[in-house]
Structure 1
Amino acid sequence: MRRRRPPVRRTTALALSALLLPALAACGSNDGDKNGDAKDAKKDGATTAQSTDQLVIYSGRNEELISPIIEKLEKATGTEVEVRYGDSAELAAQILEEGERTKAGLFFSQDAGALGALSQAGLLADLPQKSLEKVDKAFRGSEGDWVGVSGRSRVIAYNPEQADKAPDSVHDLVEPEWKGKVGYAPTNASFQAFVTGMRVLEGDEATLKWLKGLKANGAKQYAKNGAILDAVDSGEVSLGLINHYYWYEKAAEVGADKLKAKIHFLPGGDPGALINAAGVGVLKDGGQDAAAVKAVDYLLSDEAQTYFAEQTKEYPLASGVTSAVKDLPPLDSLDAPEIDLGKLDSLQQTLEMLKEAGLV
């Protein structure tokens, strides 16, 4: 029977970033419990899985979404699964704290940056080539130790009653014509991953200038992507920076004909067209390699890939599986920037930059 582990204790984003990067520098050192999470994990009464028919998953994807597919995974692989849910960056910090004492056999991250952090720290095991080859190189770790499961594209949502069309670049959003008309979510992980991507693609100086320009142009802050989409739809703002699937989820909920808001997939490899991936990596010291690899292969199976496409409207990443979501452009038609997604691991620098720009 599948057991749920208690969620990892939450910290503020800035406190986490202060933890994550020093831990990275220490390459997953286990010299004590700096924030108490590893100690708390030992007290939760759960037994560490150490056999091939048991698996502990640390999941940065939320329980409501993941629980049904975990049940299917158990049946398909004959594996007993325990899951600890939490924020992806916080769970990565937890694994770094635990080091070789980790209870996790598999890390399921909401974004590639947290997987990149663990890869850089040398905590992920090499995946079998046959597993890696199911996914395009753009959506797997350059070291062959993590693989993407589902993808999401950044887009600009726009209200056609206020804007005939959306700009073709996020750089246009700091122009006077869009003063006070743009919505964004600086405390949201997806926006922060996008900013990290811009830093990787264009450098810190250019990114900081853009962020300061966004603030100076009166862009409006929201807590979440969904709130931005609602603001665009109501005309509160003309444009909004979101992930593509929020529009498709809303369209499925209320009907596309009921939505005033539209979305624009940016051309030309613009940083605003970043495609990020939720993915998985096997923990080198988890002692559950066989069960974890079975889980990886199941998550790349037609059944699991179709589940993510239908439930979240994300892009399936395994070859041979396509989305049936109405009017969703094919993944290979998108003009995303070329970037090593594993390099989206420098969350601390991004948070510091957002603070310097006055956005958080």
Structure 2
Amino acid sequence: MTNRFAALAAGATLLALVGCGASGDPAAEQESSAPAVEAESDDALTLYSGRDEELIQPLIDMFEETSGISVDVRYGNTAELGALLLEEGEQTPAQVFLSQDAGALGALGSAGLFTTLPEDVTASVPAGFTSTDDSWVGVTGRARVIVYDGEELAADDVPVTVDELTTPEWAGRVGIAPSNASFQAFITAYRVLKGEEAADEWVAALAANDPQIFENNGAVLTAVNDGVVDTGLINHYYWFGQATEIGEENMRAQLSYPEAGDPGSIVNVTGAGILSGAAQDADALEFVEFLVSAEAQQYFVDETFEYPLAEGVEAPEDLPALDSLVNPDLDLSDLESLEATQELLSKHGLI
């Protein structure tokens, strides 16, 4: 999948360049000068969701009930759906893409697959948590954390930087989900913050340190909570979701937030963009507006324990303040080079 995603990205760029080269076509010039078409609704929407059905479908149900718009959802891995969108190009049936992380959104935006969102939509989310060119909007914040076995480790024993996890002391004791979009976004952030050479060295050191490989964040958390592995890298909200189900007092796994400024302490976002073919689709716009509405933001707080990004909705009480976790040196729009991260992980045998 890694090579395929990279190849498709290159193909999309090539097609875009070919399209630009045709700008001298009179028909194309006539089309570009045509007046804007008023948005239309057919009360139906096709959504590609890189977020799990268990988390998102109740929100879709809320939207369908309040709007009267029927939503046909295709669920899948964020990276795989991103590759599919690049492959389908203008022929995609998707009108909205809901992504698990900013990196995939940035890659698709750079490939020219998104239309520009209205300013009132993107302005509803603070700068730093949305795109810089209005091609997509952030929906929720997700902090990267180190989860650890509270029965085997004291809080002071847990590394405060991800670099420490590659030392001999932690050999075989760290759980990761390298095929997961949020892990790949973290590696991309490491590349952006510390440079390509440092990132290559870190991934090589991690791979040589016998990490325990899992399918996703939830599996990493379960392994730590069951005492199978001492530590792991996950998003914060998985812990809160499981604690709600079984009670915090029954959680063997505990959370540690890496020190501010460390690549492991990034706050990534989920987000959504409207595909260029749906630029005039009123239903697509209504859905994206719904995602940043107070109703949807409160759903994410209550049901998924993520940070709300739109003003007027408070984060869960047990979470550190969002501004205390943000890395000021990281622009989320720089996480678009997903294919380079996948190549790096593949180079060292992690995917």
TM-score, length-scaled by structure 1:
0.84
Q: Is 1:319 aligned with 2:319?
A: no
Q: Is 1:265 aligned with 2:257?
A: yes
In the alignment, which of 207, 212, 218 is matched to residue 226 of structure 1? 218
CA distance in 2, matches of 1:130, 1:270: 33
Q: Which residue of 1 aligns with 2:13?
A: 25
4+ aligned runs moved over 4 Å, structure 1: 27-31
Q: Which residue of 2 aligns with 1:83?
A: 73
Q: Which residue of 2 aligns with 1:274?
A: 266
Q: Which runs of 5+ in 2 are unaligned?
A: 20-38
In the alignment, which of 126, 151, 154 is matched to residue 141 of structure 2? 151
Q: Is 1:295 aligned with 2:287?
A: yes
CA distance in 2, matches of 1:318, 1:25: 33
Deviates more, 1:239-248 or 1:94-103: 94-103
Q: Which runs of 5+ in 1 are unaligned?
A: 1-12, 32-48
CA distance in 2, matches of 1:73, 1:301: 11
Q: Which residue of 1 aligns with 2:338?
A: 347
Q: Is 1:107 aligned with 2:87?
A: no
Q: Secondary structure of 1:126's match?
A: coil
Query: Which string of whole-angstrom CA distances, capped at 9 and with x for unpartnered residues, describes residues 285-329 of structure 1?
Result: 2254322222111111111111122222111111111133x5222
Are the counterparts in 1 of residues 107 and 338 from structure 2 also a CA contact under 8 Å?
no
RMSD (Å), alpha carbons: 2.4
CA distance in 1, matches of 2:193, 2:296: 32
Q: Which residue of 2 aligns with 1:336?
A: 327
Deviation at 1:169, TM superposition (A): 0.6
Change in CA separation of 1:333 and 1:302 when aligned onto 2, cut-off 3 Å: same
Are the counterparts in 1 of residues 3 and 343 from structure 2 also a CA contact under 8 Å?
no
CA distance in 2, matches of 1:135, 1:27: 32
Larger helix proportion of the pair: 2
The letter of the residue matching 1:331 is L
Q: Which residue of 2 aligns with 1:120?
A: 110
Q: Number of residue pairs matched?
A: 330
Q: Secondary structure of 2:97's match?
A: strand
Q: Secondary structure of 1:137's match?
A: coil
Query: Which string of whole-angstrom CA distances, capped at 9 and with x for unpartnered residues, describes residues 134-177 of structure 1?
Result: 11111111111110111211100112333322211101112232
Deviates more, 1:194-203 or 1:71-80: 71-80
Q: How does 1:28-67 map to 2 (within 5 A)?
A: 51=41, 53-67=43-57
Q: Secondary structure of 1:240's match?
A: strand
Q: Secondary structure of 2:203's match?
A: helix
Deviates more, 1:268-277 or 1:99-108: 99-108
Q: How does 1:189-200 map to 2 (within 5 A)?
A: 189-200=181-192
Change in CA separation of 1:159 and 1:50 when aligned onto 2, cut-off 3 Å: same
Q: Which residue of 1 aligns with 2:121?
A: 131
Deviates more, 1:88-97 or 1:315-324: 88-97
The letter of the residue matching 1:249 is G
Deviates more, 1:220-229 or 1:106-115: 220-229
The letter of the residue matching 1:223 is E
Change in CA separation of 1:278 and 1:335 when aligned onto 2, cut-off 3 Å: closer
CA distance in 2, matches of 1:99, 1:336: 34
CA distance in 1, matches of 2:219, 2:54: 20
CA distance in 2, matches of 1:194, 1:292: 29
Are the counterparts in 2 of residues 134 and 300 from structure 1 also a CA contact under 8 Å?
yes
Q: Which residue of 2 aligns with 1:43?
A: none
Q: Which residue of 1 aligns with 2:196?
A: 204
Q: Which residue of 1 aligns with 2:131?
A: 141
CA distance in 1, matches of 2:187, 2:167: 18
CA distance in 1, matches of 2:41, 2:18: 23
CA distance in 2, matches of 1:61, 1:236: 26
Are the counterparts in 2 of residues 50 and 287 from structure 1 also a CA contact under 8 Å?
no
In the alignment, which of 14, 38, 42 is matched to residue 2 of structure 2? 14
CA distance in 2, matches of 1:16, 1:356: 15
Q: Percent identity?
A: 48
Deviation at 1:27, TM superposition (A): 4.8
Deviates more, 1:280-289 or 1:235-244: 280-289
CA distance in 2, matches of 1:181, 1:96: 37
Q: Which residue of 2 aligns with 1:251?
A: 243
Are the counterparts in 2 of residues 113 and 341 from structure 1 also a CA contact under 8 Å?
yes
Change in CA separation of 1:79 and 1:199 when aligned onto 2, cut-off 3 Å: same
Change in CA separation of 1:86 and 1:215 when aligned onto 2, cut-off 3 Å: closer
